[in-house]
Amino acid sequence: MRLLERMRKEWFMIGIVLAIAGAKLEPSIGVNGGPLMPEITVSYIAVATIFFNSGLSLNTEELTSALVHIKLHLFIQIFTLAFFPAAIWLLLQLLSITPINEWLLKGLQTVGCMPPPVSSAVILTKAVGGNEAAAIFNSAFGSFLGIVVTPLLLLLFLHSSSSVPFTSIFSQLFMTVVVPLIIGQIVRRYIKDWLERKKPPFGAVSSSVLLVIIYTTFCDTFSNPDIDLDRFSLILILFIICSIQLSFMLLTFIFSTRNNSGFTPADTVAVMFCSTHKSLTLGIPMLKIVFAGHEYLSLISVPLLIYHPVQILLGSVLVPTIKSWMVSRQKGVKLTRPTV
C-alpha cells in the first residue's frame, strides 16, 4: 500500500512537469474562452469534484478517538494557521528589498496561509510510527478549518479590503467547496461499506483533476507575453522554501520536546509533519477562486507547487532519523519508569 502511494506521488510530480510543459507548448487550449472553457470546467466543475471527492473519502468516524488531545490539536492548528502565515509575512518584509520576483514572494505568503494536507503528513507520521490518530484528526480538521480561515488569511495578507469582492468570493467558495464536501459526506454514509470494501482511488481522481487546474492556470501565464519568470528568482525561492521547511520542523521539534510540553515522542512526530506541511489539493482550487482572473495567478501558485514535492521529499529523507530518535526516546522513557 505504501509502495502504491509513493508511486502515485511520483506520478503526480511528473504530471505537474508535463502539465506545465503542455501549457507552454499550446497555451491556447486552456486559456479562458479556449476549447477547455476553464472559466466553467475548472472554476466550478473541477473544484467541486475535488471537494466532493474529499468529502467522500474523509473517514470522520476515525477522528473521535483523537478528540481528547485538545492541547496537541490547538498547538498544531495555531502554528499552521496563525504562526506560520505571520512568520512568513515578517520574512517577506526583509525579502521585499531583494530582486526576487514580487509575485513569487506573494506566492510564498499564500503557502503560509494554506491548511495542512489530508494525506502526506498522515503517511509520514505513520511511516515513522508516530501518533497517527492525531495526524488524521489535524489533517482533516485543518482542511475543514482552512475552507474558512485560508481565504480570510489570503485576503488579509495579500489584498486591500476595498478592492476585494468578498460576497462573490465566499459565495463561490460555499458552492464549490462547502456544498460538495457536505454532499460527499452524506453520500459516504450510504455507501460506506462499499467504499471500505472496494477502496476507490480517491487520491488518483483528485490528482488528475488537480493537474487539469494546474495546466489551465499556466496556460493563462504562457499566453500573456508580459509575464516573465527569471531563473534567479526561482532558484532563490526553492532555497527559501527548503530553509522554511527545515527551520519550522526544527522549531516544532524544540517546542514539543520541552519538559513541560506534555507531548509524547509519538505526538512530536505528528506535530512536526502536521504543523509544517501545506495542502496543494485544497490550495490550488482556493487560489483559483480568490485570485480569479488575476494575470499573475500562475506565478503566485509557483511556490505552492514547489513546496508540495519539497515537503514530501524532505519528509521521506528525514523518516529514518526521526524514527530512530523516537524509538530511542521511547526506550529511555520505559527505562526511567519506576517498577512496581
Q: What would the grid cell of residue 174 be?
A: 460555499
What is the tens place of the pLDDT at every residue in 209-220?
878 877 887 787
Was domain 1-332 assigned CATH 1.20.1530.20?
yes
30 Cβ contact list (under 8 Å, min separation 6): 23, 36, 38, 215, 216, 218, 219, 220
Q: Any idea where the domains of the chain sit in the sequence?
A: 1-332
Q: What is the pTM of this model?
A: 0.74
pLDDT of residue 200: 83
- Residues 123-144 as b/e (b if ≥16 CB within 10 A, e otherwise) read bbbbbbbbbbbbbbbbbbbbbe
The listed range with the strongest mean pLDDT (59-68, 154-163, 241-250) is: 241-250
Q: What is the DSSP string of 119-175?
A: SHHHHHHHHHT--HHHHHHHHHHHHHHHHHHHHHHHHHHH--GGG--HHHHHHHHII
What is the tens place of the pLDDT at every residue in 85-112?
999 999 999 998 988 888 999 999 999 9
